Amino acid sequence: MINKVRGTQDILPARLLDKTDAQIERWNLVEGAAREVFRLFGFDEIRTPIIEKTELFERGVGTETDVNKEMYTFEDRDGQSVSLRPESTASVVRAYIEHGLFNQPGLVKLYYIGPQFRRERPQKGRYRQFGQIGVEVLGQSDDPAIEAEVIEMLDLYFKKLSITGIEILINSIGDENCRPAYIARLKEAISERLSNLCGNCRGRYETNPLRVLDCKVESCQPYLSELPTITDSLCKACRDHFDQFKQMLDERGIPYTIAPRLVRGLDYYSRTAFEITGSQLGAQNTIVGGGRYDGLSELIGGPPVKGFGFAFGIERMILSLPENIVDARASAPTIFIAYIGDEARRHSFALARRLREAGITTVVDLEGRKLKKALAVANNLSARFALIIGEDEIHRGSYALRDMTTGEQKEVTETELVNNLNGR
């Protein structure tokens, strides 16, 4: 038997499996809520290729980041290096540039839903092919109102999904004017503690010292707490921007926590960075991550563009959902038609077509089972009703309608059936 590739998963209907995190109904709920809420804030959907030129991610993500090291990269037949996308921000910005969307007046507000690929160690809520939802706001404005509105949108999204126990963490990581001096101070402080830090921290010290602050290893925490924070080193412009952002969150009544050691893992971020954590995920509790990336367009060969956005893994959002938020019967058929005899079989197919045209989900027994076995199939499908059709029913012009929950059975005409079910 050929099994699925390690780090991937099959997403099945709830009634066919017990695992709640792999139910298609929960995926549809998370995706559907995103489309509904994002539309309220004026976002349009974009779909980019899952395969891009490797250079796009090397420029945008950085060559020394964890994301770059986890990419699926290969040469195609003409020798060009291509990669499965490990994230979508670079792809969205590439599309924004390639299609000249920077010529549009005002901000371009886009969201995406789709698979990403990273060859990391599979663990709870993390896969090598994983679903991701994200938004990007692109244009010539870096007004902190953009950031506050995006956080407000996420706040509404979590409420839509009835997810509680979240915490919004915010920070400013400065810009090209104040961050270089801070990184020099940070690197000096890290060097004094380097022998006490883990291997990852020592590697990041050489390639991206800011990422040392992102370490989650318990033994490193006492030494990381002694390092200087960038919040104390912001230039006036960055400090004013951060203060306005906080004020706008306060005006919206959105609670937040300032996390002075919060950084983002990719090279193109500047100024505002944020994460949203959840109480359902244990130690690795980050659900959403995002921030400002005003220099990404220029990194990949485009004009100066300011950007702000976020992304979250669908699997981790699903793990944060209330346990009983999805009804496994929600996608079940309304009617299962069981028939007796050849004439009833032909009649059932014609009736099913009319019921479907009336908007009623209908499944016909295609295998000609005996009535008892056909009703067992209806029960297994979680059908609401079974419609039993034989020659007598056809001649009377009415059918036996059985409620599969209560077992109650009554006679109905086709008109009564349609009116009753559409009324429901």
On the question of pLDDT at 121 being above 90, the answer is: no
Question: What is the structure's pLDDT at 94?
Answer: 96
The answer to whether 288 and 154 have CB atoms below 8 angstroms apart is yes
Parts of the chain belonging to CATH 3.40.50.800 = 335-423
On the question of pLDDT at 276 being above 90, the answer is: yes
User: What digits encode the pLDDT tens for the residues 331-355?
Assistant: 788 999 999 998 989 999 999 999 9
Q: How confident is the model at residue 222 (pLDDT cuts 50, 70, 90)?
A: confident
How many angstroms separate the CA atoms of 368 and 337, rounded?
Answer: 11
Phi/psi of residue 239, nearest 5 degrees: -65, -45
User: What digits encode the pLDDT tens for the residues 24-68?
Assistant: 889 999 999 999 999 999 999 999 999 999 999 888 665 555 666
Computed from CA positions of residues 28, 32, 33, 38, in that sequence, does the dihedral angle turn out positive or negative?
positive
Question: What is the structure's pLDDT at 18?
Answer: 63
Which strands make up the sheet holding 409-412, listed edge to edge?
A: 362-364, 335-339, 385-389, 399-403, 409-412
Domain 335-423: top CATH class:
alpha beta
Long-range contacts of 353-358 (CB under 8 A, 24+ apart): 354/414, 355/417, 355/418, 358/418, 358/422
Tell me how far CA of residue 130 lies from CA of 10, 275, 346, 400, in angstroms: 11, 19, 45, 46
Q: How confident is the model at residue 246 (pLDDT cuts 50, 70, 90)?
A: very high
Q: How confident is the model at residue 15 (pLDDT cuts 50, 70, 90)?
A: confident
| Helical ranges in 295-390 per DSSP H | 296-299, 314-319, 342-357, 371-380
On the question of pLDDT at 324 being above 70, the answer is: yes
**Beta bridge mates, 288:** 276, 312
Q: How confident is the model at residue 402 (pLDDT cuts 50, 70, 90)?
A: very high
Parts of the chain belonging to CATH 3.30.930.10 = 14-171+255-319
CATH number for 14-171+255-319: choose from 3.20.20.140, 3.40.50.620, 3.30.930.10, 3.30.479.30. Answer: 3.30.930.10
How many of the other CB atoms lie within 10 Å of CB of 40?
11
Question: What's the helix, strand, coil split of the chain in %, to 5?
Answer: 40, 20, 35
* Size of the chain, expressed as the number of residues it contains: 424
CA dihedral 144→320→65→296, nearest 10 degrees, is: -30
pTM as predicted: 0.87
- Mean pLDDT (the chain) is 88
Q: Is 263 helix (H, G, I), strand (E, B) or coil?
A: coil
**Higher pLDDT, residue 216 or 54:** 54
